[in-house]
Amino acid sequence: MEIVEVQQRMDLFDSTVNTYWKQWGNGDNFVFYQDCIKHSCKTDEELPRFYIGLVDDQIVGTVALLRNDLNSRQDLTPWLACLYVSPEYRGKDLGAQLLEHAVKETRRKGYSHLYLATDLQNYYERYGWYRHGEVYGPGGGSLKIYRMPTG
C-alpha cells in the first residue's frame, strides 16, 4: 500500500471525498467533508491533513491529522481521525501502516504526541497507544482518549 497526502493526488479528489464521507459522514454532511478536504489541500499550515492508502491506484484506506476532533479537549493537538481500511483489505496490517504513517507525519511536523478519541475496545492498545482519559463531544456523549508519543 502506498500512503499519500490527498493534495499529492488531486486526480483522486472526488473519490477521496466520497470515501471519507461514506465511512464517516451522513446524508446531510457531504459538503462538510468536501470543504474540509478541499481546504486542507490549499493551506500551507501543517494541519489539517488527509491521507489515502492506495493499492493499484484504488483507495483502500484513510487517515487524517486534525487540530481538533470536535471534542471538549481543545488543549490537546493534533488528533488522529478517520482511520479506515476497506473490508476486503483488513487483516493485512494496512491499519497498522496507516497508524505508523500518521505518527511519523506528526513527529515530522514537530509534535511530541498524537491523540485520538474512540469507542473501540483493545484496538489501539495493540499498536502502543496509551489510555489518556475521557473526552466529551458536542452531543454530550463521551469517548476514550488515547495518546501516542511520536519520539
pLDDT attached to residue 123: 95
pLDDT attached to residue 138: 86
Which of residues 141 and 34 earns the better pLDDT score? Answer: 34
What domains sit in the chain, N to C, each tagged with a CATH number? 2-111 (3.40.630.30)
Q: What is the mean pLDDT of the chain?
A: 96
pTM: 0.95
pLDDT attached to residue 142: 94
pLDDT in tens, 74-104: 999 999 999 999 999 999 999 999 999 999 9
Asked whether the beta carbons of 64 and 50 are under 8 A apart, the reply is: yes
Q: What are 80's three cell numbers?
A: 488522529
pLDDT band, residue 70 (cuts 50/70/90) = confident
Reduced to 3 states (helix: H, G, I; strand: E, B; else coil), residue 28 is coil
Instruction: Please compute the mean of the pLDDT values over residues 50-56 and round it to a whole number.
Output: 98
Asked whether the beta carbons of 92 and 80 are under 8 A apart, the reply is: no
Instruction: Please compute the mean of the pLDDT values over residues 13-26 and round it to a whole number.
Output: 97
Reduced to 3 states (helix: H, G, I; strand: E, B; else coil), residue 53 is strand
> Which position has the grid cell 481546504?
39
In this model, does residue 25 exceed pLDDT 90? yes
CA angle, residues 101, 103, 104, in degrees to nearest 5: 65
Reduced to 3 states (helix: H, G, I; strand: E, B; else coil), residue 79 is strand
15: which residues sit within 8 A by CB, 6+ positions away? 59
Distance CA 115, CA 131 (A): 10
In this model, does residue 139 exceed pLDDT 90? no
Distance CA 122, CA 104 (A): 22
Reduced to 3 states (helix: H, G, I; strand: E, B; else coil), residue 109 is coil
Q: What are 119's three cell numbers?
A: 469507542
